Amino acid sequence: MGSATIISLITLGFITLIGFGAFGLSSIGEGERRAARIALGAAAFTSSLLFLACLLPTGARLAILSTMVGAGVAGVILFLLPIGRVERGNDVPQGRFDERDIMFARARLIPGSPEYEAYYALRPKNQAGDDKTRNLPGLLSPAASKANLMAFASAEASFCLTEALREEVDGPVAPGRSELAAADMTSFVKNLAGYYGSYTVGIAELQPYHIYSHIGRGSGEYGAPITLDHRYAIAFTVEMDYTMMKSAPEAPVVMESARQYVEAARVALQLSYLIRGLGYPARAHIDGNYRIIAPLVARDAGLGEIGRMGLLMIPTLGPRVRLGVVTTDLPLIPDQRSPGTSMIAFCQICQKCAECCPSQSIPTNDRAEIDGALRWRINADTCFRYWNVIGTDCGRCMAVCPYSHPNNPVHNLVRWGVRHSGMARRVALWMDDVFYPQRGPGGGRQPAHQPVPDWIPRG
Ligand code: SF4
Ligand code: SF4
């Protein structure tokens, strides 16, 4: 009995040393100094206590072990408790969304132009707010409060490239069709998307609510009704760089957004050229020239869920992705939507993005029914207005989201728990507050802004 308790305490000591130590080392790799300090401190403290406990009399060692076993059993029971479950409810919109209503389309309207007059005759309530936004410095403006000339020049260069690609989204279809079976074609297209640089990829059957009702920007006549009769949509994600996004809302964020719009456009165009070459129609949907609502398509393709901040969140990177879509008639096999509602359940209790949003644009209440669909809706007007003050696309919500941590074994272990247990969701949220906070106006739930990477000149 005596030696068995010593072996058990030493084993537990090594488990805590390795567990916290691995977390600490991976936090160093992520540049998360506070998390590294706490984890390495916990590794040293708990393992030392357990090793020292070996020097105690047998009765005391047994008492410590019994307490730890009891705590472990209680932890398993709490993990399995069916708490905090949410029903998905109906999250399918009833109608189609008009692209003219999105902020990017409204921002392009030139006062006095026929489009300007026509739009505000249609939506008079939007005019005063939009004119106010138009009078701000604007995205990538040197007069903006977060202006950084080099970073803005880099972002501008990427946006120029996306703009140059905008008319390439569609084209002639090759005569003669490849007759590969749908299952084989689906496998090939998905693997090819990964080979081209996508992070995750899925297929959805295209639904009317995926498609904007009227053109708001991009190719085609402004305000024209949209018809898109493709049967399938290939949706994919590209990863946004963790370090660049952690500096949100500083200028590296807009550099990274612009760069990943280029990547998403490149992959989408490559896929669409390929499919047309195989004898089937295909249209790429890229920044500034969409006909579909990419987050809805990607959600229905099984890539993730739409969270509180209104962005698609994928299981391994959360919202830290950009999306690309290709619609086509190529015979494909659609994916199912992601099972489970753990992401929505986590958003219900988290609210970190809402608490950290500088313009208070993210709701703190429960999902509400909007156009027949249960969802959260951010205030896109105030969000976009803030972008036009600071000159970047902010991204603070994306940076603070607990799902945005890197895809590595330590965070994936937490994600596994979050997926399977309501209690684990609460513990994970508490840990996120403890390991990553900066005591400030948010009462300790405001993760620190990471500095702008050294290689980007200031000013
Ligand atoms: S920060 Fe929290 S509430 Fe906001 S999207 Fe991420 S998980 Fe959901
Ligand atoms: S991008 Fe910034 S302003 Fe907009 S919702 Fe996110 S945190 Fe708020």
Pocket test for ligand 1, best of 352, 361, 364, 375 (most atoms within 8 A of CB): 352
Q: What is the pLDDT of residue 431?
A: 92
pLDDT at 438: 63
Residues recorded for the chain: 459
Ligand 2 midpoint to CA 252 (Å)? 15
Ligand 2 atom nearest to CA at 396: 7
Query: What range does the domain containing 26 cover?
Result: 2-80
Residue among 105, 206, 218 nearest 165 (CA): 218
DSSP string, 298-332: HHHTTS-EE-TTSSEEBTTTBT-EEEEEEEE-S--
- Residue 194 and residue 59 share a domain: no
Residue 97 lies in a domain: no
Q: What is the mean pLDDT of residues 415-441?
A: 87
Q: Identify the pLDDT of residue 340.
A: 84
Q: How much is the average pLDDT of 211-221?
A: 95
3-state secondary structure at position 84 = coil
Phi and psi at residue 236, in whole multiples of 5°?
-145, 165
pLDDT at 439 over 80: no
Averaged pLDDT, 156-185: 96
Tens-place pLDDT, residues 327-346: 999 999 999 998 889 999 99
Three-state secondary-structure class, residue 350: helix
The CB of 209 under 6 Å from ligand 1? The reply is: no
Which stretches does DSSP call E strand in 316-455? Answer: 321-328, 368-370, 373-375, 437-438, 446-447
- Predicted pLDDT at 53: 93
- Residues 106, 119: contact at Cβ < 8 Å? yes
455 located within any domain: yes
Does some domain include residue 328?
yes
Do residue 286 and residue 147 come from a single domain? yes
Question: Which residue's CA is minimally distant from atom 7 of ligand 1?
Answer: 347
> Is a pLDDT exceeding 80 seen at residue 372?
yes
Strands (E), 14-165: none
On whether the CB atoms of residues 326 and 411 are closer than 8 A, the answer is: no
Q: How confident is the model at residue 440 (pLDDT cuts 50, 70, 90)?
A: low
pLDDT at 444 over 70: no
Same-domain check for residues 165 and 58: no
Q: Are residues 146 and 240 located together in one domain of the fold?
A: yes
Q: What's the pLDDT at 378?
A: 97
Distance 397 CA to ligand 2 centre (A): 5
Q: Is 262 found in the same domain as 140?
A: yes
CA separation for the pair 356, 193 (Å, rounded): 34
For residues 459 and 390, membership in a common domain is answered with yes
Distance 455 CA to ligand 1 centre (A): 30
Q: What percent of the chain has pLDDT over 90?
A: 91
Residue (of 355, 209, 236, 375) closest to 292 by Cα position: 209
pLDDT of residue 41: 97
Q: Give the pLDDT of residue 31.
A: 85
263, part of any domain: yes
| Residue 229 to residues 82, 207, 243, 247, 454, Cα–Cα distance (Å) | 43, 10, 40, 41, 48
pLDDT at 1: 60
Q: What's the count of helices (H) and strands (E) in the chain, helices before strands?
A: 17, 10
Query: Residue 397 to residues 116, 197, 340, 374: CA-CA distances in angstroms?
Result: 31, 25, 23, 21
Please give the model's pTM, rounded to 2 decimal places: 0.94
Q: Does one domain contain both 26 and 147?
A: no
Mean residue pLDDT across the chain = 94
Work out the average pLDDT over 353-382. Answer: 95
Closest ligand to residue 382's CA: 2
Task: Select from 42, 59, 80 the last residue of a domain.
Answer: 80
Beta-bridge mates of residue 370? 373
Burial zone of 267 (CB within 10 Å; 0-12 exposed, 13-18 middle, 19+ buried): buried
Total domains, the chain = 2
| In 214-320, beta strands by DSSP E | 232-239, 282-285, 305-306, 312-313
**Residue carrying structure tokens 């669909």:** 373
Q: pLDDT tens across 88-135, in order?
A: 999 999 999 999 999 999 999 999 999 999 999 999 999 999 999 999
In the numeric block, the tokens 């005759």 are attached to: 121
Instruction: Please write the tens of the pLDDT for every residue from 53-86.
Output: 999 999 999 999 999 999 999 999 999 998 998 9
Ligand at minimal distance from the CA of 425 is: 1
Q: What band does 24 get if pLDDT is binned at 50, 70 and 90?
A: very high
pLDDT of residue 441: 52
If asked whether residues 65 and 207 sit together in one domain, one would say no
The answer to whether the CB of 43 falls within 8 A of the CB of 21 is yes
Instruction: Report d(CA 312, CA 306) in Å as an integer.
Output: 4
Tell me: do 167 and 69 sit in the same domain.
Answer: no
What atom of ligand 2 comes closest to residue 362's alpha carbon? 5
Residue 134 pLDDT: 97
Q: 23 falls in which pLDDT band (50, 70, 90)?
A: very high
Which of 80, 105, 139 represents a domain boundary (last residue)? Answer: 80
Going from the Cα of 282 to the center of ligand 2, the distance in angstroms, rounded, reads 33
- Does residue 162 share a domain with residue 62? no
In a domain, 96, yes or no: no
In a domain, 91, yes or no: no
- Residue 334: cis peptide before it, omega within 30 degrees of 0: no
Across 188-192, 212-216, 232-236, 337-341, least confident range: 337-341
Ligand 1 atom closest to Cα of residue 400: 1
pLDDT of residue 446: 78
| Pocket residues: Cβ below 6 A from ligand 2 | 309, 357-359, 361-362, 378, 383, 386, 394-397
Q: What is the CA radius of gyration of the chain?
A: 25
Query: What's the CA-to-centroid distance between 384 and ligand 1, angstroms?
Result: 19
Pocket of ligand 1 contains residue 352 by CB under 6 Å: yes
- Tell me, using a 6 A CB cutoff, whether residue 429 lines ligand 1: no
Say if ligand 1 is within 6 A of residue 351 CB. Answer: yes
Instruction: Provide φ and ψ at 133, rounded to 5°.
Output: -65, -40
Give domain status of residue 48, yes or no. Answer: yes
- Of 41, 58, 80, the last residue of a domain is 80
Structure tokens given for 16: 């805590």
Q: Is residue 118 part of a domain?
A: no
**pLDDT at position 436:** 83
- How far is C-alpha 443 from the chain's CA centre? 24
Ligand 2 mutation target, pool 320, 322, 361, most atoms within 8 A of CB = 361
Q: At what angle do helices 33-53 and 58-80 cross, to 10 degrees?
A: 140
Question: Is residue 73 domain-shared with residue 142, that is, in the same domain?
Answer: no
**237 - beta bridge partners?**
200, 323
* 74 and 134 assigned to the same domain: no
* Other residues' Cβ atoms within 10 Å of the Cβ of residue 113: 12
